[in-house]
Structure 1
Amino acid sequence: MSKIGIMGGTFDPIHIGHLIAAETARELCGLQEVWFIPSYGPPLKANEPGVSGLHRFEMVCEATRSNPAFRVLDIELKRGGISYSYDTVLELQKHNPNDSFAYIIGSDRINDLPEWHKIEDLAARVSFIGLERPGTPIQLAALPNYLQERIMLIPMPAIEISSTMIRGKLDGGHSARYLIPDLVYSYMRRHKLYES
């Protein structure tokens, strides 16, 4: 049985913070692989992704190409609609019945776990790896017991980078180089993504 980490998100665009989070979780939690799953439409975010699913998928492929422990799946993009983690896990378990799965999520996402679609059913099927970020306190005691026992907290290096910040820099005509992997930067330039 392999233990697989799941990194979900819009990845609009993917940046080095995502990669560091995935590698940190892989190393500290003994994961065999981390699977990146770009979402079609996130359930808890108001805004639609800025670029198409195909471009976001290709950027994640470029970003993860050099790490043999990273894989990219397009199951949520193919499914379309709102990307519920519960539906994704059902599909993953159907095709990988001998593997166990753990969602890798940041401090902010841990606190809103009770709002996730079918969260009790999801927590019965997967565990959660919570990345403790400086400045974002985790209210673990405020979560229901069934969630508390399914969360493993690990320290995350302080990296003040977000996709929103990167889009803002690019929209303002500034460089985002070195905040994103070189291959992603080249892909964005080649396809004129995020240019105002």
Structure 2
Amino acid sequence: MKRIGILGGTFDPPHLGHLIIAEEVRLALELDEVWFIPTYTPPHKDSAKTGVDDRIRMTELAIETNPHFKINTIEIKRSGKSYTIDTMKELATLHPNHEFYFIIGADMVEYLPKWQDIDELVKLVPFVGVKRSGYELETEYDIFTVNIPLIDISSTEIRKRLQNNRSVNYLVPERVYAYIRGERLYGDKGSN
């Protein structure tokens, strides 16, 4: 039986914080793989800032050097808003011999009571909460917690930097940055 971590997100863009979270949880829980699952339309946001194809490509570039990281486009294929309960039910059906762990940041731990069908979901998949600056890992739900180096990077901050023609070196993998610049995403003018 494979032990698989699930890291969902908009990945708009994927950054080093995502990679650190995935690797630290993989090591702490002795997971075989971590699957990055980009959302089509996130249920808690209005929309992604870039298109699906760009976000998939950036995620592929971000994870390509780690053989334990995979991309799974289950939510992209479903299109529309995706809820974790639907994704986990489908993954459990498609991969009955896998044991899944759903990885979330502390900001999402606080938001758990608002998740779609959360009481059913926590019976279906164990949650793994990781620390994030400014948030506590406190919830009424039983979750694993993993301490990781506190790297306070957000996709929102990266997009703002790019819109203001500021460098994002060392915040995103080099190949992701090259892709952003080449495709002129997020208003990047390419002069950094």
1:16 aligns with 2:8: no
Whether contact under 8 Å (2:102, 2:127) holds in the other structure is yes
CA distance in 2, matches of 1:107, 1:159: 13
CA distance in 2, matches of 1:30, 1:179: 26
1:125 corresponds in structure 2 to: 124
1:25 aligns with 2:22: no
1:58 corresponds in structure 2 to: 57
CA separation of 1:48 and 1:134: change in aligned 2, threshold 3 A: closer
1:100 corresponds in structure 2 to: 99
**Secondary structure of 1:136's partner?**
coil
Give the number of aligned pairs.
188
2:173 corresponds in structure 1 to: 181
Aligned alpha-carbon RMSD (Å): 1.1
2:85 corresponds in structure 1 to: 86
Amino acid at match of 2:17: G
Q: After the TM superposition, which residues 134-153 of structure 1 pair with which residues of structure 2 at under 5 Å, given as runs? A: 134-140=133-139, 143=140, 147-148=141-142, 151-153=143-145
Identify unmatched segments of 5+ residues in structure 1: none
Q: TM-score, normalised by structure 1?
A: 0.92
Whether contact under 8 Å (2:131, 2:150) holds in the other structure is no
Where does structure 1 differ by over 3 angstroms across 4 or more consecutive aligned residues?
none
1:34 corresponds in structure 2 to: 34
Whether contact under 8 Å (1:22, 1:34) holds in the other structure is yes
Amino acid at match of 2:157: M
**Secondary structure of 2:87's partner?**
helix
CA distance in 1, matches of 2:149, 2:82: 28
Q: TM-score, normalised by structure 2?
A: 0.94
* Identical aligned residues as a percent: 44
Identify unmatched segments of 5+ residues in structure 2: none
